Amino acid sequence: MLISNAWAQASSASDPTGGLMGMLPILLMFVVLYFLMIRPQMKRSKEHKTMVEALAKGDEVITQGGMAGRIVKVGDAYLQVEIAPNVEIAVQKQAVSTLLPKGTLKTL
């Protein structure tokens, strides 16, 4: 009287693609993320690494802090950079952001 009959629902047809269509947007997002963010960052990192390995005495550089100077001495992990006449600072090799063309710094 107060309880209604419970009818079993018919089973729906299963997905013929096996749920692949549901995963497709997520997979596409990862592919786009790789090509737009990860791959260019890896390329920039590789270019910076080769630039740092190629630093030599006499090169003119700009550090990440904005200091511009000429390399006086190259060590394993550090550089001696002359930023003014008779003023040298020690800088980590990884802190060099830009290698300038020769003759850019004329005041040193």
Delimit the domains of the chain by residue range. Answer: 22-54, 56-108
By percentage, how much of the chain surpasses pLDDT 70? 86
- State the DSSP H helix or E strand holding residue 60, giving kind and residue range, or none if neither: strand 60-63
Average pLDDT of the chain, as a whole number = 89
CB burial of 46-76 (b: ≥16 within 10 Å; e: otherwise) equals eeeeebbeeeeeebbbbbeeeebbbbeeeee
For residues 102 and 7, the model is more confident at: 102
Contacts of 35 (CB under 8 A, 6+ apart): none
Q: How far is CA 13 from the centre of its chain?
A: 47
Global model pTM greater than 0.75 = no
CATH class of 56-108: mainly beta
Q: What is the pLDDT of residues 49-93, one digit of tens each?
A: 999 999 999 999 999 999 999 999 999 999 999 999 999 999 999
Q: pLDDT band for position 12 (50/70/90)?
A: low
